[in-house]
Amino acid sequence: MKRLLDIEFHKFRYSKSSIVLTIIYLVIVVLMMLSGMIRIDLNGFNGSFSDLGIFNFPLVWHISTYFTSFLKIFIAIVLVSLTANEYSNRTIKQNLIDGLSKKELILSKLYLALSLAILTTVVVFIASLILGLIYSDFDEPSIIFSQMGYLGAFFLAHLVFFCFCLFAGILVKRSAFALGFVFVWYIFEGILNLLAKGVDTFYDTHIYEWLTHILPLNAMSNLIKQPFTKIDLVESALNQISVEGMDFGYDIEWIDVASVCIWSTLFIYMSYALLKRRDL
Amino acid sequence: METILEINQLHKTYGALTAVDHISFKIKKGHVYGILGPNGSGKSTTLGMVLNVVNPTSGEYKWFEGSTSNHDALKRIGAIIERPNFYPSMSAIQNLELVCKIKNIDKSKIEEKLAVVDLLNRSHSKFSTYSLGMKQRLAIASALLNDPEILILDEPTNGLDPQGIRQIRDIIQKIASNGTTILLASHLLDEVEKVCTDVIVLRLGKMLYAGPVDEMNRNHGSIFIDASDRKALHSFIENKPYAGTITTHDNGLEVKLYEPVDNAQINKDAFESGIILSKLVHRKQSLEDQFIELTNKN
């Protein structure tokens, strides 16, 4: 495993685009941290994001994982281009001839995806911890380290997305088209969702609810639910309106966890099967 | 003698097309093999199959008498296929370091091998800045990194200029003289003729011949003779048991030989028959002639 990681990080380290995108990712995370300090002067309203209480423990875990989730596209581009470029430079062929087995090749990519998922989780953890320590109204360790499940969900969401991108890279072989494939798949899931909602309203079925758990990108984004209505200001406003039937769940559902784990395994296995069958 | 590679009834089809048709041969240690064949005869596909990048439709192959798994066997060989494949944004050294990591060997040999292919002064430039000849030389350096037990080269001089071809050929000859087993696929016959001891001839995926270069066509070359009295010379030579087809050229007769014969003997026979030869040259048949003959026959 150490050898495979070493091989993969060697490729990662000397690829300019990978390094640039990873730096962009880190810079944006830091900028988002700093945004908490910006004071806004608007129509007599004077305050900053931190005054909303969004950096309070343990809410900060939920907020930060939710808002940094979309950034995974940067890391995904890195993974897709690293994988697809192996095809366009035909280095994948040379790797095999040099004595890497097809299994090792997929494993090394999986290890890279795992490491990047761990890395992003750690970065977000540290960033949120610092933000929380600066702005949080509560600082008892028992409160700080509660609801850490969101970080686990964050990790899983990244892992399944990276595995998906890996599979797209191997399936399509060209980085631009592979990213296109990921995007098209995203739209495809959106259309399925709409159709399901339509069918549900007409036939009183629950297809949509199932789709949100079953489709990979749905399950991924469903892992961490929106935290807006948890913010004090919004919550109190909603309470005043007190709309009937407004019931928000924030918990990570086990079915989503299971779903993304199964999808991750499937993507890796399908990548392996594809590579094994193919003549290079 | 130790067998390095044994191929048994290897077969590959792409849809209706048969690329490689039940090929079997053995590669023994210490020989230099040439795989000959026109473009599209299945050379690269055959090599691709034994190098684990093309899945055979049927048949099997064994590296090192089956003592190791295929991908471990590949760590003990050096191979370049078609064109050099490296990471464009890495330098020569960084690319070779990666190969060392894959092959699980020490990095200490990198400089030595770069010196063999004369690339030391450019070892820190990015691969994407290299000329085709340099890329091909880097590929050879990479294939030599593990001091391979067999070196496989697929069209190593493809697309190079005459200087580049000469450089690569010199490198191959140097490696061959060190006793490394080489398997060289090419359609350039003089390339093969200059370095190979054994040949495997393919055409349309079928194997036509496998064995030593000299025995490819059991013939003994031809003689070019001339005398002032051509007619007498013609009737003299056509009655000899060793003479095959006779072709008349402007500058003499070309006689194919059926059996080995001494030039002095021919001269003596002619003199005794009252013919004085003005020219007597024995010429071995070139590999190209042999190859054309063999591929036409089948």
Give B55→chain A minimum CA distance, Å: 6
pLDDT tens digit string along B137-169? 899 999 999 889 999 998 888 878 888 888 888
| Rounded CA separation A162/A157 (Å) | 9
What is the distance, to the nearest Å, from the Cα of residue B298 to the centroid of all Cα atoms in its chain? 20
List of chain A residues whose C-beta atoms are within 8 Å of the C-beta of residue B74? 96-99
- Token readout for B254 is 């070309």
Instruction: Pick out chain A residues at pLDDT < 50.
Output: none
The helix, strand and coil proportions of chain B, stated in percent and rounded to the nearest 5, come to 35, 30, 35
What is the pLDDT confidence band of residue B54, given thresholds at 50, 70 and 90?
very high
User: Are B270 and B236 spatial neighbours (Cβ–Cβ below 8 Å)?
Assistant: yes
Interface contact flag, B48 A280, Cβ < 8 Å: yes
Rounded to 5 degrees, φ, ψ at A279 are: -90, 130
Residue A42, SS3?
Answer: strand
Give the distance from residue A8's alpha carbon to the nearest chain B alpha carbon, in angstroms: 9
Q: Do A16 and B89 touch (CB under 8 A)?
A: yes
Partner residue opposite B86 with nearest CB, options A6, A91, A280: A91
Check CB contact under 8 Å for A10 and B94: yes
Domain ranges for chain A? 2-277
For residues A21 and A78, the answer to whether their CB atoms sit within 8 Å is yes
> Which tokens in the block code for residue B198?
């054994």
The answer to whether B92 contacts chain A (CB < 8 Å) is no
Q: Contacts of residue B89 in chain A, CB cutoff 8 Å? A: 14-16
Distance in Å, alpha carbon of A16 to nearest chain B alpha carbon: 7
pLDDT score for B46: 92
**Higher pLDDT pick, B209 / B1:** B209
Q: Is B185 on the interface with A (CB under 8 A)?
A: no
Q: A43-52, B18-27, B107-116, B227-236: which range is least confident on average?
A: A43-52
Contact indicator for A218, A189 with CB cutoff of 8 Å? yes
> Nearest 5 degrees, angle CA B212-CA B215-CA B221?
130
Contact between chains at A95 and B79 (C-beta distance less than 8 A): no
Q: Which residue has the tokens 């798949």?
A: A185
Distance from CA of B210 to the nearest CA of A (A): 25
Contact A104 B71 (CB under 8 A): yes
Q: Please indicate if any CB of chain A lies within 8 Å of the CB of B89.
A: yes
- pLDDT at B88 (0 to 100): 92
Between A3, A97, A101, which is nearest B79 by CB? Answer: A97
E-only strand ranges, B40-149: 58-63, 77-80
Alpha-carbon distance of B296 to B298, in angstroms, equals 6
Rounded Cα–Cα distance for residues A168 and B83 (Å): 26
* Interface with chain B: mutation pick from A98, A106, A107, highest number of B CBs within 10 Å: A98
CA distance B86 to B97: 12
Q: In Å, how far is A89's CA from the nearest CA of chain B? A: 6
First CA to last CA across chain A, in angstroms?
Answer: 25
Helix (H, G, I), strand (E, B) or coil at B156: coil
Residues of A in contact with B50 (CB under 8 A): none
Residue A44: count of CB within 10 angstroms of its CB: 5
| DSSP at B126 | B
* Beta-carbon separation of B101 and A277 below 8 A: no
Q: What pLDDT does A243 receive?
A: 57
Among B68, B71, B146, which would you mutate to test the A interface (most chain A Cβ atoms within 10 Å of its Cβ)? B71
Residue A210, C-beta contacts closer than 8 angstroms, at least 6 positions apart: none
pTM above 0.90, yes or no: no
Strands B32-36 and B181-186: parallel
Q: Which residue of B has its CA nearest to A6?
A: B101
Identify which of A89, A98, A279 has the shortest CB distance to residue B74: A98
DSSP state string for A123-152: HHHHHHHHHHHHH-S---HHHHTSSTHHHH
Q: Which residues pair with B122 in a beta bridge?
A: none
Is B94 in Cβ contact with A100 (below 8 Å)? no
Confidence class for position B298, pLDDT limits 50, 70, 90: low
pLDDT score of A241: 67
What's the length of chain A? 280
Determine whether the interchain pair B88/A3 forms a contact, defined as Cβ–Cβ distance below 8 Å. Answer: no
Query: In angstroms, rounded to a whole number, what is the distance separating the alpha carbons of residues A23 and A21?
Result: 5
- Nearest-CA distance from A162 to chain B in Å? 22
| Chain B residues near residue A99 by CB distance under 8 angstroms | 71-72, 74-75, 102-104
What's CA B34's distance to the chain center, in Å?
3
Which chain A residues have any C-beta within 8 angstroms of a chain B C-beta? Answer: 3, 6-7, 10-11, 14-16, 89-91, 93-102, 104, 276-277, 279-280
Q: State the Cα–Cα distance between residues B278 and B275, nearest whole angstrom.
A: 9
Q: What number is the average pLDDT over the span B59-67?
A: 90
CB < 8 Å to B69, chain A: 101
Q: Does B121 touch chain A (CB under 8 A)?
A: no
Interface test with B, best of A94, A95, A107 (most B CBs within 10 A): A94
B41 three-class SS: coil
Structural domains in chain B, sorted by start: 3-212 (3.40.50.300), 222-297 (3.30.70)
For residues A63 and A59, what is the distance between their CA atoms, to the nearest angstrom?
6
Q: How far does A278 lie from chain B, in Å, by closest CA?
A: 7
**Closest CB to A90 among B85, B98, B142:** B85
Q: How close does chain B come to A78, measured CA to CA in Å?
A: 15
Interchain proximity A277–B79, CB inside 8 Å: no
